[in-house]
Amino acid sequence: MSYEPTNYLDNSIMKAEEYLKRVKPVADESRWKPKYHVSAPANWLSDPNGFSAYKGDYHLFYQHHPYAPEWGNMFWGHMKSNDLVRWEHLPVALAPDQEYDKDGCFSGSAIEKDGKLYLLYTGNVWTGSDWSQELLQVQCAAVSEDGITFTKLEQNPLIDVAPEGNIHPYHFRDPKIWQQGHQYYMVLGSRSQDDRGQVLLYKSSDLLDWEFVNVLAQGDERLGFMWECPDLFELNHQHVLIISPEGMQPEGDFYHNKSQSGYLIGHFDEMQGSFKHHDFHLLDYGFNFYAPQTVLDRQGRRVMIGWMSLWDGDKPEEAHQWAGAMTIPRMLTLKGEQLYSTPLPEMESLRKERVSHTNITLDQEQALDGVRGNSIELELAVQAEANSVFGLKIGCSADSSEETLLTFNGPEGKFILDRTHSGEGVGGIRKAPVHLQDGRLFLRIFIDNSCIEIFINDGEQVMSARFYPGENSDGIVFFGDGSAVLEKLNKWEMDSCWL
Ligand code: FRU
């Protein structure tokens, strides 16, 4: 049963909080609720929003529908952390309670100015029943002095129409802002009138008055019809533009998800409002990764969190009154034109008991003593030949009817994630292009009840997936064709990320 208000004037944070309190115990009982991947207290979570540093803490907001485990009228949920690893929930930050955002406080970002935390977000209003065309999106702000309670600005909406030109008048959302010198910049997700994804650049000297600069980047038809949730930042003297294109078509083994997120490496010229860039690359080759957002942390590292997206197929956790989880924080680095994503080193502080094995020839299916579990991290170094085939099965049931397969296939030059027999939920196969590094494959695998993240070769490729194994399916089995040796395996039980 849902208590969703029928009128936007009734959409209060207090009501949402009361409802969440009531349903949280149901969500907490779910064996699929992750232990160290953050999720909402209950009901729907999607895009990370407002990922920022403020008064010594990191704040992470998210697209949140407090009244049901499905996408709906969006609020902003809120949590904070001191180290980006251990989190606590804070009250819902934004409710769609104004005429200009009554059908959703859509995605956006946050920035500190004069000791206050500003949220910039998209107010969404449906103007008809065809939500693909009949909508109005405007850019708005809210401000807080304590990082907990936010007040929407009287000047809202700050940007009430899309610029003229070959720019869709209504699909105009997800402001990501940053400061450069005395100037604030904003990138916005957009589409052209002829259905190409694009990013718009704005600038402002006070966060309130925004001037349109340029269409910063635009795709061809290969790159979909709309670019959502852009993020632009400098990394190692180059610039990275992250985009989440909707509508890309499968090409060979890639782009099989409904929507995917990737990046363009290039040079941003703020004077010209231009961004010259190289080709699009995926940020993640798994099934579930979308709308990531980054923050520059206290140590100057660029840290990214993404939504383990749930657009495709059923969501078995719905039955338990929750839906959606974030990835662990990933640190981004550049090697040439390749972006590497590695687990934030502080994730190691969640490690508990360790089990280790060394030098095991992978020639048959074998379980290893003490290596199983639902909330664990695995670290592997495998010595292999270029045409070796080996891997591991996780989430195995005792009768082997359930398993999730992770295979290095040397002849194909791919790492393959196979969910066909994972349990409940949608199956399918995803592949990442992978080669051995000096005759070795390095893996870090994070398994957390219904979340898997696989970091391959120190973050050269990443694959993320949701999966729904049965109650006792926590077995792990290694396999190979005899040509590979598991030189090192470490397994840690993982602690909860909740304070
Ligand atoms: C991406 C997205 C954003 C939008 C939000 C609405 O998942 O579609 O473009 O702001 O979700 O929930």
Ligand 1 centroid – CA 105 distance (Å): 10
Report the nearest atom of ligand 1 relative to the CA of 259.
7
Residue 107 Cβ < 6 Å to ligand 1: yes
**Which one, of 285, 290, 211, 288, lies nearest residue 245 by Cα?**
290
pLDDT band at 75 (very low <50, low <70, confident <90, very high): very high
Q: Is the pLDDT of residue 70 over 80?
A: yes
Ligand 1 centroid – CA 66 distance (Å): 16
Report the nearest atom of ligand 1 relative to the CA of 74.
12
Residue 74 Cβ < 6 Å to ligand 1: yes
CA angle 70, 432, 455 (to 5 degrees): 75
Give catalytic residue positions: 47
Residue 403 Cβ < 6 Å to ligand 1: no
The CA distance from 183 to 204, in Å, is 6
Ligand 1 centroid – CA 165 distance (Å): 23
The CA distance from 273 to 183, in Å, is 13
% of the chain surpassing 90 pLDDT: 95
AA letter at 412: E
Structure confidence at residue 60 (pLDDT) = 98
Residue 173 Cβ < 6 Å to ligand 1: yes
DSSP class of 163: P
The CA distance from 31 to 105, in Å, is 30
Phi then psi for residue 223, to 5 deg, are -95, 30
**Which one, of 323, 315, 284, lies nearest residue 39 by Cα?**
323
- pLDDT tens-digit series, residues 140-175: 999 999 999 999 999 999 999 999 999 999 999 999
Q: Is the pLDDT of residue 313 over 80?
A: no
**43-54 and 322-323: which strand pairing?**
parallel
More confident residue, 483 or 7: 483
The CA distance from 244 to 223, in Å, is 10
Ligand 1 centroid – CA 487 distance (Å): 43
Residue 243 Cβ < 6 Å to ligand 1: no
Structure confidence at residue 11 (pLDDT) = 87
pLDDT band at 2 (very low <50, low <70, confident <90, very high): low
pLDDT band at 6 (very low <50, low <70, confident <90, very high): confident
Structure confidence at residue 72 (pLDDT) = 94
More confident residue, 310 or 370: 370
Please return the burial class of 92, using the count of CB atoms within 10 Å of its CB with bins 0-12, 13-18 and 19+. buried
Structure confidence at residue 494 (pLDDT) = 98
Q: Is the pLDDT of residue 202 over 70?
A: yes
Query: Within its chain, how far is the Cα of 265 from the centroid?
Result: 19
Taking residues 174-188, report their average pLDDT: 97
- pLDDT tens-digit series, residues 404-418: 999 999 999 999 999
Structure confidence at residue 361 (pLDDT) = 98
Taking residues 262-282, report their average pLDDT: 96
Q: Is the pLDDT of residue 9 over 90?
A: no
What are 490's two structure tokens?
Answer: 């470490």
Residue 106 Cβ < 6 Å to ligand 1: yes
